[in-house]
């Protein structure tokens, strides 16, 4: 007896999930977290349960759990209760990329501050001090530009 074939649309969606996840892995994200994030991103409501993620990705619930924990820690997904149910859903933010990039401003500010304290430690007149100063200036520049870029994004998004 022949095995049932998967729906062509599902095969195409799974292919996209794997391609996009591979791109995120290439950029430094954990593999399973990238796969879970991609699956949530393409889900109709932007939310899936652990069982749905396991089924979609053909992985164990434990693998999903670890990936979701990581994604929640870095602010890429959040947990919520399925209304009328005891199960948890994992959801991507509607403004996912906006949220991800604007939350980096705080990270950049902390890095800049740490770099400036490093300059004091090694001496501003040293090669290391100059390297740290340039890196701190770069992070300060990114923070300034990020805010302006996000303002432009909101204006642009309103036209979509």
pLDDT recorded at residue 25: 96
What CA–CA distance (Å, rounded) separates 147 from 1? Answer: 60
Are both 17 and 86 inside the same structural domain?
Answer: yes
Q: Which two tokens stand for residue 119?
A: 């300059």
pLDDT at 85: 79
pLDDT of residue 15: 94
98 contacts: CB under 8 Å, gap ≥ 6: 150, 153, 154
Same domain, 103 and 82: no
Q: How many other CB atoms are there within 10 angstroms of residue 63's CB atom?
A: 19
Residues 78, 138, single domain; the answer is: no
- pLDDT value for 6: 58
Q: Is residue 2 part of a domain?
A: no
> Which residue, 62, 92, 122, sits at the end of a domain?
92
CATH number for the domain spanning 29: value is 1.10.10.10
Reading the block at residue 76, the tokens are 């890429």
Q: What is the pTM of this model?
A: 0.74
| Structural domain contains residue 108 | yes
Cα–Cα distance, 97 to 126 (Å, whole number)? 38
Q: Which two tokens stand for residue 130?
A: 């100059």
User: Is 133 part of any domain?
Assistant: yes
> Are 102 and 73 part of one and the same domain?
no
CA dihedral sign of residues 129, 138, 20, 150? positive
Domain count of the fold of the chain: 2
pLDDT in tens, the chain (160 residues): 445 455 777 889 999 999 999 999 999 999 999 999 999 999 999 999 999 999 999 999 999 999 999 999 888 899 998 778 788 899 998 777 777 777 777 888 899 999 999 998 999 899 999 999 999 999 999 988 988 888 898 899 899 9
Is residue 85 assigned to a domain?
yes
Which residue, 92, 110, 130, sits at the end of a domain? 92
Task: Find the DSSP H helices in the chain.
Answer: 8-26, 31-42, 50-57, 61-73, 96-122, 127-159
Domain that holds residue 60: 8-92
């Amino acid at each position: 007896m022949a095995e049932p074939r998967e729906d062509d649309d599902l095969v195409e969606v799974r292919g996209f999930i794997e391609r996009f996840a591979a791109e995120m892995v290439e950029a430094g994200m954990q593999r399973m977290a990238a796969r879970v994030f991609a699956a949530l991103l393409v889900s109709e409501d932007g939310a899936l349960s652990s069982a749905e993620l396991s089924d979609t990705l053909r992985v164990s619930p434990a693998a999903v759990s670890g990936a979701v924990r990581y994604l929640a820690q870095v602010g890429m997904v959040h947990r919520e209760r399925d209304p009328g149910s005891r199960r948890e859903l994992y959801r991507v933010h509607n403004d996912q990329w906006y949220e991800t990039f604007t939350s980096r401003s705080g990270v950049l500010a902390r890095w800049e501050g740490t770099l400036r304290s490093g300059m004091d430690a090694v001496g501003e007149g040293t090669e290391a001090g100059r390297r740290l100063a340039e890196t701190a200036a770069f992070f300060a520049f990114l923070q300034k530009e990020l805010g302006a870029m996000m303002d432009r994004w909101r204006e642009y998004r309103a036209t979509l």
